[in-house]
Chain A
Amino acid sequence: MRLIIIIVSFLLEGIVSNFVPMNSFLVPLFTLTALIMIYPLFDEAALYYKYTFITGLAYDLLYTDTILFHAIIFCFMAFLITKLNLVLSDNFINTLIIIGVCILVYRVMTYSVLILVGSVDFNISDLIFSVLRSLIINLIYSLILFLIIKKGQKTKYNF
């Protein structure tokens, strides 16, 4: 079921991107959101890191034409998610906080690396907008995933 959530979120991110206007505040980061939401469903951290790394590789290949870029960043995000989950208890408000922090860190990391290798020029307003533009739709998506996961945990499905 964890795998289904990741695959569906991964594909949905690609589909939704086709319909969202470029300057809107609805930039989907469903793959990252799914990785945050499914963390409590893993008993072993090593397995979670494996899932994260493979998802990052797939993201690199299909969406950004890079190698290991998102695989490394997603692994760092997994580390951050693990640490945040140790500090914060498992409820929806805390999950929203984790998503907010992760989107911020993900955007800052991506932007920093791209500046470092000379792919983009530094512009602080671009960075701030990119974080703000990603928040709304991903918080809504996290609510949907939260409800699905909670319902799944109550039923016979093995999460």
Chain B
Amino acid sequence: MYNKRRFDKRYLFILIVLAIALVLVVLTISLNKERNLSPIEKGLKDMGTVVLKVVSAPFNFVIDKIDEMIEKNNVYDKYKELKNKEEQMDSVVAQNENLQSEIDKLKDTLDLNTVLSDKVYMNATVVFRNIDYWYNEITIDKGSKNGIEKGMAVVTPKGLIGQITKVSNYSSTVKLLSNENMSDKISVKIKVKDDYVYGLISMYDSKSNTYTVEGISENVDIEKGADVVTTGMGTIFPSGLMVGTVKKVTTDNFDLSKVVEVKASVDFDDLDYVTVLKRKSE
């Protein structure tokens, strides 16, 4: 009787350890960032996304109406601002055409099919946001059937917001740059006079909505307010995507390199419609 009880206890202990190990293995596989969704998951997620989109439609309608009313109060200021911009439009268009023809000529000369800034646009609506600290993701209503692929850059008119991490048939998940544990270091360049200095985004601070850019030489003078854009190198992001503007410049603990605090150009709370960018392949 005594032996049997001891055996039972040992058996139970081994069983518990095995169960915990099994659960951890399942969770490790399940939480793997590189994991692709299975066809069943894709189907169910698409169905859920459609339901969520339909259910949230009346709420979105009300919110849009409230925004519209608020916008109407500032309509005269907006008109003046737009009129001002319109006057500059002709010269900007002419400048753009000139630059585009120069790019085309250079591409012909160098026998290049694509450049780092070439991209294709796809618009999408945000269906769901996961605002937990450790997820920071949004779900959009476009998927592989619409040409979305894993790794594509996602932007708003104000700048870069993140990257496609999971793709279903008719919906996709976007990992936001506001994720404080952003594992992929993003290569960026900061405008200094007529030249650029290169660095890497190392972290994001949600309280101040700022990125920290590291790896910049100590000898460079960076002005406050300078634009920070993607380089198109190292990562899948095309070049020239707005990331933010320089807020503060300091040096690291050893006075060997500069650490730049960059104010994000995007408001991560206001993401209703986004654009997915695809770098043009050769």
Contact = CB atoms under 8 A, between A and B. Distances in A.
A130 B137 CA distance: 16
B135 A72 contact: no
Given A11-B51, A17-B129, A61 B27 contact: no
A72 B56 contact: no
B263 to A, nearest CB: 15
A68 B26 contact: yes
Contact of B49 (A62, A110, A119, A129): A62
B103 interface: no
Interface in B1-55: 23-24, 26-33, 37, 41, 44-45, 48-49, 51-52, 55
A124 B63 CA distance: 35
B254 interface: no
A72 B133 CA distance: 20
Nearest to A28: B131
Given A15-B56, A121-B181, A65 B134 contact: no
B131 A15 contact: no
Contact of A58 (B31, B48, B206): B48
A12 B175 CA distance: 22
Contacts of B27: 68-69, 72, 113, 116-117
Contacts of B26: 67-68, 72
A83 B268 CA distance: 40
Given A61-B44, A62-B49, A126-B133, A21 B180 contact: no
Interface in A112-130: 113-114, 116-117, 119-121, 123, 126, 129-130
A7 to B, nearest CB: 10
B126 interface: yes
A111 B29 CA distance: 16
Interface of B is mostly: mixed
A151 B87 CA distance: 63
Q: Which of B130, B132, B269 counts the most chain A CB atoms within 10 A? A: B132
Interface in B69-111: none
Contacts of B29: 67
B131 A27 contact: yes
B245 interface: no
Contacts of B129: 17-18
A134 B27 CA distance: 24
Interface residues of A, number: 36
A15 B129 CA distance: 9
B121 interface: no
Nearest to A60: B30
A126 to B, nearest CB: 5
B199 to A, nearest CB: 21
A94 to B, nearest CB: 27
Q: Which of B32, B56, B166, B180 counts the most chain A CB atoms within 10 A? A: B56
Interface in A65-87: 65-69, 72
Interface in A36-53: none
A63 interface: yes
A129 to B, nearest CB: 7
Given A67-B30, A119-B31, A61 B134 contact: no
B207 to A, nearest CB: 7
B126 A18 contact: yes
A60 B38 CA distance: 13
Contacts of B61: none
A68 B30 contact: yes
Nearest to A127: B133
B41 A67 contact: yes
A20 interface: yes
Q: 9 nearest interchain CB pairs?
A: A62-B48, A67-B30, A21-B269, A66-B30, A15-B56, A117-B28, A65-B166, A120-B134, A120-B181
7 contacts: A11-B55, A18-B56, A27-B132, A60-B30, A61-B44, A62-B45, A68-B26
Interface of B: 23-24, 26-33, 37, 41, 44-45, 48-49, 51-52, 55-56, 59-60, 63, 126, 128-137, 165-166, 173, 178, 180-181, 206-207, 268-269
